[in-house]
């Protein structure tokens, strides 16, 4: 069975919890750990969900905030369910004969 795996990037939450409200507040702390990023790169790291992050960057962020990687990235995984579609081969679907149509009923009153 296929599984759908997704993640949530929680860097903005960690920054807010530590009183860092601007992405530029992160630049000197990353420099202290040997990671030099430009202002736009740090902004994208904070505001967008990254597709690729080096382990060195992850380790530096965990050191800055005193947390583990599971606090920085929350992983969710679920089984992928197949969508059912109605087809003529399904056992619970009845094929209708479209050439035979029911006749309209006529109501007759008892007083006539």
Query: Domains of the chain: which residue ranges?
Result: 3-79
The CA-atom distances, in angstroms, between 41 and each of 8, 19, 61, 65, 77 are 19, 20, 14, 19, 29
Task: Look at residue 87 and tell me whether its pLDDT is greater than 60.
Answer: no
Integer CA distances (angstroms), 28 to 39, 40, 84, in order: 11, 14, 53
3-state secondary structure of 77: strand
CA torsion, points 45, 46, 49, 55, in degrees to nearest 10? 50
3-state secondary structure of 33: coil
Topology of the domain comprising 3-79: 434 Repressor (Amino-terminal Domain) (1.10.260)
Lowest mean pLDDT among 7-16, 37-46, 52-61, 100-109: 100-109
Residue range 3-25: average pLDDT?
93
Task: Look at the pTM and tell me if it is higher than 0.85.
Answer: no
pLDDT tops 60 at residue 74: yes
Decide if pLDDT at 112 tops 90.
no
Query: Does the pLDDT value for residue 76 go beyond 70?
Result: yes
Which of 34, 80, 78 shows the shortest CA–CA distance to 57? 34
């Amino acid at each position: 069975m296929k599984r759908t795996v997704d993640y949530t990037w929680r860097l903005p939450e960690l920054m807010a919890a530590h009183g860092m409200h601007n992405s530029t507040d992160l630049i000197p702390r990353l420099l202290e750990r040997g990671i030099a990023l430009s202002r736009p790169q740090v902004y994208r790291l904070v505001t967008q969900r990254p597709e690729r992050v080096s382990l060195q960057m992850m380790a530096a962020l965990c050191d800055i905030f005193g947390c583990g990687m599971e606090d920085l990235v929350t992983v969710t995984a679920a089984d992928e369910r197949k969508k059912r579609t109605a087809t003529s081969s399904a056992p619970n679907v009845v094929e209708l004969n479209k050439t035979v149509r029911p006749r309209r009923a006529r109501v007759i009153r008892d007083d006539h």
